[in-house]
């Protein structure tokens, strides 16, 4: 998996199971891969937890990133066991000499490292100067530790500078990007529940991607990590950076809507097409104003009339007289025909 340069922006997420429960963790890893996740991060609270690494690598083909805080020996053990990459937070390790040990081990084992900065865990020596967490404090710390790894002879690095505040996050990434060439993992940390967290993440990540900043992304949500992957692809797709899955174009409905349950139809359709990898613009419209008129650029779509529905492709009606009850299934069948 290549990160940075001209490579596509990589989608990652984090396992939320107890790493001591091998089967539950494996199951969630497989769910994430099926959803399109390309890098999976796992929390490693103790050295003993690292024993899950060879198990996961044997059972599922996806890069595993070990997430390490406080105890640098966990990172050393994870690298010994062949983890694909390690994320460390120098602020929680809070000891330059211990981070140097990690740098030396990374060089010797050729393990990529993400230096992950968070406003909630900036190292004490930096906080003494800045008095409180800030974008500048994160940038200074990140630059210091990238130099430390360089001095150890290892430059396979990614960097992240996250806050739960959008402005602070954007400021940190923009300042760091002006001073460093390392790939950046971007996201809004602890963004919140699925609905509000996805919105906050889309704003922050979207601003950064528009500025050309970001090589990997994670949407950090309080919920099933599969939703993190789905949200990430929505962001990338709407920014025109990755085309994966079905993009639903649907009207918000109004007094002209010819079917009372359009909202239910759209929600059901969205749930039923989450495993589609092929990119298509699909319209579901409630009246003749929006479909196929305003949705004429869609690859395929349905629009509801007073009694029946129509099927259209690129603005041209291809089938009429479709029962309202069968319209969604007709649409799905036509989509299958288009992509198989």
Q: Are 335 and 311 in contact (CB under 8 A)?
A: no
Q: Are 251 and 285 in contact (CB under 8 A)?
A: yes
Is the CA virtual torsion 124, 126, 129, 135 positive or negative?
A: negative
Q: Which of 12-16, 64-68, 131-135, 138-142 has the lowest mean pLDDT?
A: 131-135
Residues 156 and 244: their CA atoms lie apart, in Å, by 28
Return the axis-axis angle of helices 225-238 and 22-35, rounded to nearest 10°.
20
pLDDT digits (tens, 9 = 90+) for 323-336: 999 999 999 999 99
Q: Are 287 and 256 in contact (CB under 8 A)?
A: yes
CB-neighbour burial class of residue 195 (10 A; exposed 0-12, middle 13-18, buried 19+): exposed
Tokens of 268: 């059901």
pLDDT digits (tens, 9 = 90+) for 235-262: 999 999 998 889 999 988 888 887 878 9
Residues 41 and 48: their CA atoms lie apart, in Å, by 17
In terms of residues, how long is the chain?
340
Return the axis-axis angle of helices 327-339 and 262-272, rounded to nearest 10°.
30
CB-neighbour burial class of residue 239 (10 A; exposed 0-12, middle 13-18, buried 19+): middle
Report CA Rg, the chain.
23
Chain centre distance of CA 61: 18
Transcribe 312-323 into DSSP letters: EETTEEEEEEEE
Residues 317 and 51: their CA atoms lie apart, in Å, by 58
Q: Which of 65-69, 216-220, 283-287 has the lowest mean pLDDT?
A: 283-287
DSSP state of 119: G
DSSP state of 293: I
Pairing relation of β-strands 300-304 and 308-313? antiparallel
pLDDT band at 289 (very low <50, low <70, confident <90, very high): low
Pairing relation of β-strands 316-323 and 308-313? antiparallel
pLDDT digits (tens, 9 = 90+) for 37-52: 999 999 999 999 999 9
3-state helix, strand, coil in the chain (%, to 5): 45, 20, 35
The pLDDT of residue 339 is 86
The pLDDT of residue 193 is 96
The answer to whether residue 178 scores a pLDDT higher than 90 is: yes
Which residues is 86 bridged to in the sheet? 66, 113
pTM for the full model?
0.92
Which parts of the chain fold into alpha helices (H)?
Answer: 22-35, 52-59, 72-80, 90-93, 96-109, 124-130, 135-151, 166-177, 194-210, 225-238, 262-272, 327-339
- What percentage of the chain reaches a pLDDT higher than 70? 98
Strand arrangement, sheet containing 300-304 = 246-250, 280-285, 300-304, 308-313, 316-323
């Amino acid at each position: 998996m290549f990160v940075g340069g001209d490579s596509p922006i990589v989608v990652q997420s984090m396992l939320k199971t107890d790493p001591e429960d091998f089967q539950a963790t494996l199951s969630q890893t497989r769910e994430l891969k099926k959803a399109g996740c390309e890098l999976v991060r796992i929390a490693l609270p103790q050295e003993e937890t690292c024993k899950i690494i060879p198990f996961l690598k044997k059972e599922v083909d996806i890069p595993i990133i070990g997430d390490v805080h406080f105890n640098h020996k966990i990172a050393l053990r994870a690298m010994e066991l062949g983890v694909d990459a390690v994320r460390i937070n120098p602020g929680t390790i809070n000891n330059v000499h211990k981070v140097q040990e990690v740098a030396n081990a990374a060089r010797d084992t050729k393990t990529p490292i993400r230096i992950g900065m968070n406003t909630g865990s900036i190292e004490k020596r930096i906080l003494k100067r800045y008095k409180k967490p800030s974008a500048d404090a994160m940038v200074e710390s990140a630059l210091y530790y990238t130099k430390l790894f360089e001095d150890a002879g290892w430059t396979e690095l990614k960097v992240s500078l996250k806050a739960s505040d959008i402005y602070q996050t954007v400021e940190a990434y923009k300042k760091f990007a002006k001073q460093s060439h390392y790939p950046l993992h971007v996201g809004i940390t602890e963004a919140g529940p699925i609905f509000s967290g996805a919105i906050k993440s889309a704003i922050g990540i979207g601003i950064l991607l528009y500025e050309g900043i970001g090589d990997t992304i994670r949407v950090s949500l309080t919920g099933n990590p599969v939703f993190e992957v789905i949200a990430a692809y929505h962001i990338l797709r709407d920014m025109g950076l990755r085309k994966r899955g079905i993009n639903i174009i649907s009207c918000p409905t109004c007094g002209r809507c010819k079917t009372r349950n359009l909202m239910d139809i759209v929600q059901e359709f969205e749930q039923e097409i989450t495993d589609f990898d092929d990119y298509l613009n699909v319209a579901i419209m409630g009246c003749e104003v929006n479909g196929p008129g305003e949705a004429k650029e869609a690859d395929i779509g349905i629009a509801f009339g007073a009694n029946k529905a129509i099927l259209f492709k690129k603005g041209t009606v291809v089938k009429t007289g479709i029962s309202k009850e069968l319209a969604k299934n007709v649409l799905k069948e036509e989509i299958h025909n288009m992509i198989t």
